[in-house]
Structure 1
């Protein structure tokens, strides 16, 4: 049975396909678009210290999965994150692989969507155990022939980091001897390992660019000095908050899985980053001790307090049918993958809350990952619509801004053409762009 995440994405594809009509999306294509092409599921066996006797090692199994959706062109690569989280399931990764395809197609990236993960809590295990698990996964994936700069390129996701990407890159090069394009086997690496400057902050930065595009197009009207409440303070949430001041946004509330903090005059993001970095679970829970003006606040209290915008930047399925009626915001800027249930979309529309959808808003990470991969594999000129930047933050930021503005305006145009919400328009734009290639590949013109 499909999880809510998988059900949500299928509903949205079907809605977009219905608007486009059967001439553009015949039934056979719709069936392809809502189903992954292939799935990979294994158990990773490692030795861990025995809790009763640390000098003794005992076996431990971790489940790992990888899902591949669809490639418009067989020569394209698969692209998507590798998640480290105890709740990793095949069904959820199926949903996110499909979303990754649509995200790539909106941004005109030559990718098929992929997603995978290992069912492990990275905060509960030692560095040695995490490395063992990572390298066992890499070994199995390489032997299967699926981990390669020309086949499937992984990247950081929830719970995984550039250090984990460095381990994967190093192991792949050592195992295969590929010193030519081996750096391109993963993205989101350290710069010294072939990474690109600006990748770590790219998703958070891209969210600001997405909002800016919609505001400049006159689609969204907000005060010059905007306020935001953010859910999640990992890579995406913290970088969005760190950059908020540059875009005249005051972050007045933040919540994560452990708790939240609120200050109507604005939070000091640098102090919150230092606070989170200093504790095991990297949480902002308890950070009200930073200032007497800070108040401890729950998720429910924060969404009721409201702001100009709500930024879900943590896990999926945050905005449910019970949450949507309580939200006191003008705009939802989606940083997480699948943060809003399909059934909640209509509630937000009825309440006049505009949504800049995840498949566009959080595509900064995959876009800069493409820049990184193209540099690693010498693919500088294969896509005339994309300028691969130099490896400096100014060039990367400029190239990313061009991508967001061009493709955001295309999304807005589709929304107006079909008189549909932005989320539906994102899916419709993606399908319009790849339908000719999918038909040609299947010889169905």
Structure 2
């Protein structure tokens, strides 16, 4: 959420930031509402002071035995009490209206984010690995003989409908091994703190990270008001909601492996074949809570941790920086990692790593105290996939496919697979 004080101080900059996002100017409208809100608060406070002053005079008139003055003042106090209640209600209404408007405005992009209207404006800045040459036509993951019947879309459709999958046998174990490998790398090598979090959360938790209110249709709500998380960013980031964190505890670097749930409301007709785009999937998520001045360096470190997973698996990838028109709602700057999928003959997103500055922290009221006796300030938050497990499975299968229909598996996974090195007809051998 934006800082109303910053908008007051530099409305032109606020509108310029919105323009980079492709949005019309809003500063004048917001400041008009803010002025009205502050006027209502001042009027309520003035009326409250008058009520308090009259209340003190009531007792004095009673003590003097001045019945007429006593009755007059008592009536005045009652009148002021009604007036104060109405003014406070009006101020509260305007305060809520201003907050609601600010909650719907996306974060301001950093100055070095490329300008663009959509994904065509994204810029590739790094590439690792060389896509393997095949002496046969490579297949997509769901077509591979090595997968056999262990990637079962028919049973999933019977159980749940479209965009679900049942993984079985060697494919299920390979999927589990990938998640465990990612966690071990992030915890043992990168020093992240692992957590196991709920996947059902309160609406205020989703609001804190920006999924609500604007993107409600992208997630699932239960009948009793819980929401199913689209990513563990929601839970991990909200660990500090409403808190004042000790400066010595920063930076907090965390990770979690969870199921994630997305309605894919705006993706009709996209990636309907295979398991690239699912309503339920697993992801290892990374989140950092830090001082605002540390955020840019933390962003670079986080994307390198995600890249380390791909490099250990020997999967070619590229890093792109998203333009202003393709960036997520809460991000100041985002790097996407795209892994090479030979079955599609293209790179596809496997991780998105964003720095959000203090945008989410204001929504959550998450602060830290810079030093003893100093006023608390909002923390900075960052999040990134490290990685999407299902998409990583796809990449491992497609990049490791052989002419005989088997899949050769990355060496780093062999210890997680009981020493097995290949997938043949759904079985590890």
Normalised by the length of structure 1, the TM-score is: 0.23
Relative contact order: is structure 1 or structure 2 higher (C-alpha 8 Å, sep ≥ 6)? 2
Say which one has the larger Rg: 2
